Amino acid sequence: MKSLSVQELTHLQTHVHNAYSDSEQLKNKETQNAIVQCLRYLESGTLRVASPHGMEANCGEVEMNHLQHWIVHPWVKQSILLAMKMRTAETFSWELKSEINNTMQGRSHGGLLTYHDKFDVRNDLAKASVRSVYGSIVREGAFISKGVILMPSFVNIGAWIGSGTMIDTWATAGSCAQIGKNVHVAGGVGIGGVLEPENARPVLIGDNAFLGSRVIVVEGTIVGEGAVLGANVSLTSSTPIYDVTNTERKEYRGFVPANAVVVAGTRMKTFPGGEVPLQCAYIIAYRSEKTDSKVSLNDVLRETGIAV
């Protein structure tokens, strides 16, 4: 992971800011090179879309905790949007070895795999000690750290996946989503993305979190370090999250506290036509901060009996 000097960072920011305010600058070769360099720095982990307060976009791999204090770097998102403007979509294809006769039964597409896009699909993950199972797709400009395991899944541009994290089958990490280290993202999880508006906070998932099957986290929601989201929990920025672990109930929106154990639920709301159950979530326990993360996870799952 390359370390960017203040001068190098300023150079990139200047080109991005100038081109974003004046698209004619995209015709400039030096500006084009700067934008492409931003993509390379994003996928190498040198740049990231969000960082702890007080740090710049070149902070690299840092602990993902106290996430409510993280800040967004709009110019990094702008570099991605400029790359979209600068490039033209191309069709990429490769041929599969097969006995199929493409003219047989009108099978004109037989034996070909293609995609049509302005961004490439990364093919260098083995060099980073990443295990990517057939069917996993990592778009250009996404960072995948050492030791990550990707089952058939999709990671979009600008996303950050920390070391030791597992992205299970048919899970998605949206554009610019920031996921910490040693996170378990179970099958079918949908983590939302956001490129515009540029100052909008992406979804932030803290270190050692566990996201159960079919969980949805969108609209810049923060999931604190060590938190456990039970199966089918769906969180938006406006979803009520009720902490019922004490006699005095607390309410959160867009934020799951560190080590919280969350389950899907409903709450009643009155409308002219009657009362209806609306979606919400409940914090029913907290993982121990003093024990190993895997031990505390097993303990809390046994005690609460929640499905993950």
Residue for token pair 């990443």 = 130
Using alpha carbons only, how large is the chain's radius of gyration in Å? Answer: 21
Res 271 pLDDT > 80: yes
Q: What pLDDT, in 10s, does the model give residues 111-145?
A: 788 999 999 999 999 998 999 999 999 999 999 99
Residue for token pair 């996303």 = 159
Measured distance CA(158)–CA(80) in Å, rounded: 8
Go through the chain and tell me how many residues it has. Answer: 308
pLDDT level of residue 96 (50, 70, 90 thresholds): confident
Measured distance CA(78)–CA(51) in Å, rounded: 16
Residue for token pair 């007080």 = 54
Residue 225 · residue 259 · CB < 8 Å: yes
| For the chain, percent of residues with pLDDT exceeding 90 | 83
pLDDT at 290: 64
Q: What pLDDT, in 10s, does the model give residues 11-24?
A: 999 999 999 999 99
Q: What pLDDT, in 10s, does the model give residues 73-86?
A: 999 999 999 999 99
pLDDT at 299: 73
Strand order in the sheet with 204-205: 143-144, 160-161, 178-179, 204-205, 222-223, 255-256
Collapsed DSSP state (helix, strand, coil) of residue 72: strand
Task: Name residue 283's beta-bridge partners.
Answer: 243, 262
pLDDT at 128: 87
Q: What pLDDT, in 10s, does the model give residues 163-192?
A: 999 999 999 999 999 999 999 999 999 999
pLDDT level of residue 108 (50, 70, 90 thresholds): confident
Cα dihedral angle (132, 137, 141, 146), rounded to 10 degrees?
-10
Query: Which domains does the chain show, CATH number per domain?
Result: 6-86 (1.10.166.10), 120-304 (2.160.10.10)
pLDDT higher at 240 or 305: 240
